[in-house]
Structure 1
Amino acid sequence: MKMPDKEIRLIVAETLAERHRLQQESTDAIVLKATASVLAPFGIEEDDRKEPRADFQHLRRWRKSVEQAQSCAFKAVITVIAAGLMGAVWLGVKVVLGK
């Protein structure tokens, strides 16, 4: 008694799908374990995500405030240079008109 080709293909497809699912589960477990082992020396535990999240939020706020301070410092330097040039021009005009 010979099995029909459709039935053979169905069995092979189901077997391959099951094998793929098992491999995916195994890969996911390996990735999670590797990630946990990499983060553990930094004090980041698998179950405790609030602390690292708060730390990263703090770092982001710090970075943004530093960027804002740099921007303000750059604007202040440009303003001082422009004011100095305008003052020099004004003094030059006063000297020329004063003669």
Structure 2
Amino acid sequence: MEDITVEELKQRIDNKEEFVFIDVREEWEYEEDNLGALNIPLGTLPHQLDQIDKYKNEEIVIHCRSGARSANAKKFLETKGYRKVRNVPGGINAYRELED
């Protein structure tokens, strides 16, 4: 599935849309700054699929700091049968630049 831009993500958050939103950064990164997503660090994602299995057929938006880890998470989830996974290129860094 096509990636989502930080502009589209910001609009969806501002509009208080409900969607499956996952942050794959480490816990300490999440604690420093987050957008309200479910925090599942990339390294633990394979062991925590049960937390998101019910969303297998729904759109899932994944982000990290820059978009690299979330791109890997997207590829991993696609190998597990998730078909509607969208990465946020630029990650939270690009998102925060919108606010400056």
**Where on the TM-score scale, by shorter chain, does this alignment land: which range?**
under 0.3
The normalised TM-score by structure 1 is 0.21
Larger radius of gyration: 1
Kindly indicate whether structure 1 or structure 2 has the higher relative contact order, using CA contacts under 8 Å at least 6 residues apart.
2
The normalised TM-score by structure 2 is 0.21
- Greater strand fraction, Structure 1 or Structure 2: 2
- Greater helix fraction, Structure 1 or Structure 2: 1
